[in-house]
């Protein structure tokens, strides 16, 4: 089965999910066709703790597909609860290996 490699950066309270000994972006190998949700699960992060996901200044949803080489930043939800998420508009693909919804 084909695989992709993505790099994930965790911020704030999500750093507790950083693998021991890892410093900086976390390289993850995932099956081709994986979505943000798969990267979140691979790191053991509960989905409700992945509040904001960004790749190359584009907001991604948990169901957004990932491409090989994507560099994804995951932030916990901001204070005040979950806000309604807006979808990115554009060509459907962003530079640097990310796919927008």
C-beta neighbour count of 67 within 10 angstroms: 17
21 backbone φψ class: left, alpha, beta (φ>0; ψ -120 to 50): left
Is pLDDT above 50 for 20? yes
Predicted local confidence at residue 79, as pLDDT: 73
Q: Could you tell me the domains of the chain? A: 3-99 (3.10.20.30)
Band of pLDDT at residue 96, cut at 50, 70 and 90: low
Provide the pLDDT for residue 48.
Answer: 96
pLDDT reading at 93 higher than 90? no
């Amino acid at each position: 089965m084909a695989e992709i490699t993505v790099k994930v950066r965790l911020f704030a309270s999500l750093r507790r999910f950083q693998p021991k000994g890892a410093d900086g972006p976390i390289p993850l190998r995932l099956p081709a066709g994986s979505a943000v949700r798969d990267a979140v699960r691979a790191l053991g992060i509960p989905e409700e703790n992945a509040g904001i996901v960004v790749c190359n200044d584009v907001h991604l949803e948990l169901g957004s597909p990932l491409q090989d080489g994507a560099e994804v930043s995951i932030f916990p939800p901001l204070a005040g609860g979950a806000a309604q998420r807006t979808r990115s508009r554009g060509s459907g693909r962003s530079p640097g290996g990310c796919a927008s919804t």
